[in-house]
Amino acid sequence: AVAYFQATGKRVLLDALCRYADYIDTVFGTAPGKKRGYPGHEEIELALVKLYRVTGEKRYLHLSQYFIDERGRQPHYFDIEARLRGEDPAAFQHKIYEYNQSHLPVREQREVVGHAVRAMYLYSAMADLARELHDQSLFDADQRLWNHLCTTRLYITGGLGPSRHNEGFTADYDLPNETAYAETCAAIGLVFWNHRMLQLDCEARYADMLERALYNCVLSGVSLDGQKFFYENPLASLGAHHRQEWFWVACCPPNIARLLASLGEYIYAVNDKDLVVHLYIQSTAQMTVGGREVTVRQETIYPWDGTITLRLGMDEPSMFGLRLRIPGWCRNAQLKVNGDAFDIASHLEQGYVRVERVWQADDRVELELAMPVERMYAHPNVRQDAGCVVLQRGPLVYCLEGADNKVPLHRIVVPRTAELASHFGPDVLGGVTVVSGNALAEEDTDWTGTLYRSWPASLQPGAITAIPYYAWDNRQPGEMRVWLREGGS
């Protein structure tokens, strides 16, 4: 309803939605006669903030605040509700209230748990309320949860929630690859949450995580032709996992469509003093900075290379800060303003280089982000990735696919010293940068008649070709693998 109103200016859906929200407000709350309930699947909380923002009606904000504040309090509402239905609360099908993050009041939660999509929507709403209500305690809780997620429970693809069982989180450092659930909607929720964290605090690490999810686990959720979708985004496949046209619970396809259609919202941000560039995506935007209209034209083929040119447009010169994100994956960035080198290191604020000056029309800013192929490793507590390496270039995580490589892929060993090159393949998967190099593969030609023997398989040299993870399963069915075995030399 909010999106329809914003896109068309028509209130018909919005008015209906307001009546519905008003009704919900008559049922739930702390006032006498109301139920002290809240949803099992968080989502309305962030929606009510959206509704407040377009209508200006504070009661929607307060209803959202009520749901967030009430969540996880004792006596537990879901226990009460179960007894009212004549059920034993212990018979709850998901066993524990961690499943829907109602095990504790939200400000006391320190670990990301349970159903991953629900968690992302909850944390997003907490960030929304932290911003609208200037509630530092909600932001503090969100920061603790964010740190827990990104240091213990996040796939390198930005996927999250490894278990199909609860569609969610398991234990710290438990990140299985073949069986990774990593629902597309959870990665989309991670984009939502980090976007809101960025609005609270312009720290590049939030944009880094947003970008990691966006270019990997979110984008893998849809086929290159836009016709098929992944619900689950494993990091390895034996060849039987494929995108589907639709799902019984069809959240992911419209969610990804909505995200891609609204991508423009994520690229830039403004406040009174600054114009911020979070993402590098070819685009043109008009914004108001300190009361003045500014146009930004961004020219780039990012993520295929790291050269970005920004051209500013405005009616008259204007003093403001231009903040450009220096991505966490980038070790070497160069900046020029109207052709003159600008020292990034001495102007870096929370991962963003800030160029403050009187800008004028046709000012040109050139950012050069070095984008070599990087080897990435997982924390040694992640047993599923032990001895393995991921190839990454810029924000893109790469994978091997059977279509390009000799299978089985687990037989391939990438020497630590192997040189890896990248080149743009205009005819590959609609045009992607491909990573290639020399590796080794275990031979089995001399291994017959037994499953075990006292000397290992011999290794034969061979070439490997890696493609961006998001683009896998767009050719003939086959194996896929993100974490590659690494050899000593």
For the four alpha carbons of 19, 23, 28 and 34, in that order, the dihedral sign comes to: positive
The neighbour count for residue 401, using CB atoms within 10 Å, is 26
Interface stretch with a copy of itself, choices 226-234, 314-322, 353-361, 370-378 (CB under 8 A): 370-378
In degrees and rounded to multiples of 5, residue 160 shows phi and psi of -155, 155
Rg value, the chain, Cα: 25
Active site residue 251: yes
Closest distance between a copy of itself and the C-beta of residue 377, in Å? Answer: 4
The verdict on 375 binding a copy of itself (CB under 8 A) reads yes
List the catalytic residue out of 45, 70, 98, 167. Answer: 167
The DSSP symbol for 301 reads: -
The verdict on 457 binding a copy of itself (CB under 8 A) reads yes
251: nearest Cα among 187, 184, 193, 163: 184
The verdict on 413 binding a copy of itself (CB under 8 A) reads yes
The verdict on 437 binding a copy of itself (CB under 8 A) reads no
Q: Which of 383, 421, 424, 463 binds a copy of itself (CB under 8 A)?
A: 383
- Tally of CA atoms within 13 A in the half-sphere of 170 that contains its CB: 14
Closest distance between a copy of itself and the C-beta of residue 418, in Å? Answer: 13
Q: Which of 239, 408, 425, 437 binds a copy of itself (CB under 8 A)?
A: 408
The verdict on 451 binding a copy of itself (CB under 8 A) reads yes
Q: CA-to-CA distance for 85 and 97, rounded, in angstroms?
A: 18
Active site residue 167: yes
Q: CA-to-CA distance for 325 and 310, rounded, in angstroms?
A: 13
Please say whether the beta carbons of 199 and 127 come within 8 A. yes
Q: CA-to-CA distance for 286 and 270, rounded, in angstroms?
A: 11
Please say whether the beta carbons of 336 and 342 come within 8 A. yes
296: nearest Cα among 338, 268, 266, 262: 268
Q: β-strand 480-481 against 236-237: which pairing, if any?
A: antiparallel
The verdict on 487 binding a copy of itself (CB under 8 A) reads yes
Closer to a copy of itself at the Cβ: 48 or 414? 414
Positions 132 through 161 that interact with a copy of itself (CB under 8 A) = 150-152, 154, 156
Closest distance between a copy of itself and the C-beta of residue 11, in Å? Answer: 45
Closest distance between a copy of itself and the C-beta of residue 181, in Å? Answer: 16
Closest distance between a copy of itself and the C-beta of residue 379, in Å? Answer: 5
The verdict on 112 binding a copy of itself (CB under 8 A) reads no
The DSSP symbol for 104 reads: S
Please say whether the beta carbons of 369 and 327 come within 8 A. yes
The DSSP symbol for 409 reads: G
Order across the sheet with 352-359: list the strands.
Answer: 268-270, 274-277, 318-325, 352-359, 348-349
Interface stretch with a copy of itself, choices 115-123, 265-273, 361-369, 374-382 (CB under 8 A): 374-382
Q: Which of 379, 424, 430, 461 binds a copy of itself (CB under 8 A)?
A: 379
The verdict on 23 binding a copy of itself (CB under 8 A) reads no
Number of residues that bind a copy of itself (CB under 8 A): 42
Closer to a copy of itself at the Cβ: 77 or 155? 155
Interface stretch with a copy of itself, choices 25-33, 227-235, 242-250, 403-411 (CB under 8 A): 403-411
Q: Assess whether the previous peptide bond of 32 is cis (omega < 30° from 0).
A: no
Please say whether the beta carbons of 429 and 469 come within 8 A. no
Q: Which of 117, 217, 371, 390 binds a copy of itself (CB under 8 A)?
A: 390
Q: Which of 58, 164, 258, 453 binds a copy of itself (CB under 8 A)?
A: 453
The verdict on 351 binding a copy of itself (CB under 8 A) reads no
The DSSP symbol for 434 reads: E
Closest distance between a copy of itself and the C-beta of residue 488, in Å? Answer: 3
Q: Mind telling me the catalytic residues?
A: 167, 251
Q: Footprint of a copy of itself on this chain (CB under 8 A)?
A: 150-152, 154, 156, 374-383, 386-387, 389-390, 408, 410-411, 413, 416, 442-444, 447, 449-457, 485-489
